[in-house]
Amino acid sequence: MANNRIALIDSFRFIAIVFVLFYHLTNPWVAKYPHQDFFVHIFKYGYLGVYFFFIISGFVICNTLENTTSIGSFFRKRFARLFPAMLLCTILIFLIVHLLDNENQFVNSGQIANFLPSLTFINPKLWTLLTGRNFNWINGSYWSLWVEVQFYIIVSGVYFFNTLHFRRNIFIIGIGIALSKYIPIQVLNHYERSLPGSVTAFLGSWRFYNEIFNITFFINWFLCGAVFHYLYMGVKNSSSLINIAWLLAIVLCMVKDLNDFFSDKFWEFIIAGSIMFALFLLLIYYERSLSFLQRSFICRIGVISYSIYLIHEQIGILLINKYEGLLGKWNGLSPFIVIIIVICYAEVSYRFYEKKMSKILNK
């Protein structure tokens, strides 16, 4: 089973990408959409789809590691999967922004220097720190890929360091990383005046680098996916109780993070997270209840969701604002038309470009 693609995971990707699409293409925080704020209250929680992707990634990457022979092979496969689509989408966004962005809504997307963070998947703030030159993402949505890359580095390092005790180690280390951000915060908040200047400077730097190496704020979501992977792989195994204990510990850390860093959106995360958890638990314990999600078109959109995610935001917004007038009184349909266009692009890209490039890079 480990070598087979799990159809429902692609269905979950479909759910996540649909939420993200409607959030970006119906929420007038960047541009004056023709539909104004008609959809805002319907899709304003769509950003939570990114966190669903994090859980999915934690699930899938654990499975990938178990079928990979070396850390070099793992990163070669990840590069072959991620880079071709990123290269093409970055070029297309750059070109289309220059063609359509007459009002300079996406200045960062039109600067060729910003290819560097996008094509390396590395936080622009880190490049700015290293070079002294200001960098930004070509597409603001790419921030989550830096989080993914950090998780890949951590999880692969832990796995190949000690494969036998990987499950125990990744949960201990992952929770430790999640909690580590509180050390400089708490010490500075309570003892800053009594600390030597060198210690204060060190803790201040630690807090600063937590913002750059921001996996500490998101790793719990990936860890949940890892727990679900182990529950799925050995649902009748006695170690299921241990997995559930790890899940409870991770959830407690998540609740702490949400209360401290996302308090204004606490209940949004709790409700959405509960739904995500419920979907994974149904996958593990009552898979047939989700058979309605296994439609071929749903799974296919899940398969090509990576390219959809990369390409949709700037190009979608520019297309809506430039051409919605052609629809007249039906201009409220413009986000849906753009979504269809983006899906068609992703299908062509995946079928004729990404798969072929991936095979070449994996040789």
Name the H helices within 234-293.
240-261, 266-285
Distance CA 322, CA 51 (A): 31
8 Å CB contact between 92 and 315: yes
Tokens 């992977």 correspond to: 229
Distance CA 99, CA 131 (A): 30
User: Per-residue pLDDT tens for 56-101?
Assistant: 999 999 999 999 999 999 999 999 999 999 999 999 999 999 999 9
Residue 1 within a domain: no
The amino acid present at 177, given as its one-letter code, is I
**Cβ–Cβ contacts within 10 Å for residue 329, how many?**
6
Question: What's the pLDDT at 1?
Answer: 38
Question: What's the pLDDT at 329?
Answer: 80
Residue 2 within a domain: no
The amino acid present at 155, given as its one-letter code, is V
8 Å CB contact between 361 and 81: no
Residue 155 within a domain: yes
Number of domains in the chain: 1
User: Per-residue pLDDT tens for 315-360?
Assistant: 999 998 888 778 888 887 888 999 999 999 999 999 999 999 999 9
User: Per-residue pLDDT tens for 90-126?
Assistant: 999 999 999 999 888 899 999 999 999 999 999 999 9
User: Per-residue pLDDT tens for 258-313?
Assistant: 999 999 999 999 999 999 999 999 999 999 999 999 999 999 999 999 999 999 99
Question: What's the pLDDT at 3?
Answer: 47
Distance CA 82, CA 280 (A): 25
Distance CA 333, CA 102 (A): 23
Distance CA 360, CA 358 (A): 5
8 Å CB contact between 83 and 353: no
Quote the domain boundaries for residue 311: 7-362
Question: What's the pLDDT at 328?
Answer: 82
Is residue 157 predicted with pLDDT exceeding 90?
yes
Residue 82 within a domain: yes
Name the H helices within the chain.
7-26, 40-43, 49-66, 71-100, 115-120, 124-131, 143-161, 166-180, 182-191, 197-212, 219-233, 240-261, 266-285, 296-303, 305-323, 334-349, 355-362
Question: What's the pLDDT at 34?
Answer: 53
Question: What's the pLDDT at 254?
Answer: 96
Residue 337 within a domain: yes
Confidence of residue 37 (pLDDT cuts 50, 70, 90): low
Is residue 40 predicted with pLDDT exceeding 70?
no
Residue 73 within a domain: yes
SS3 call for 191: helix
Is 259 buried (19+), middle (13-18) or exposed (0-12) by CB count in 10 A?
Answer: exposed
* Helical packing angle, 334-349 and 7-26, nearest 10°: 140
How many C-alpha atoms does 143 have within 13 Å on its Cβ side? 15
Is residue 238 predicted with pLDDT exceeding 90?
no
Is 281 buried (19+), middle (13-18) or exposed (0-12) by CB count in 10 A?
Answer: middle
Confidence of residue 193 (pLDDT cuts 50, 70, 90): confident
Is residue 17 predicted with pLDDT exceeding 50?
yes
Distance CA 75, CA 155 (A): 11
Question: What's the pLDDT at 326?
Answer: 83
Task: Say what the pTM is.
Answer: 0.94
What is the percent of the chain where pLDDT is above 70?
Answer: 93
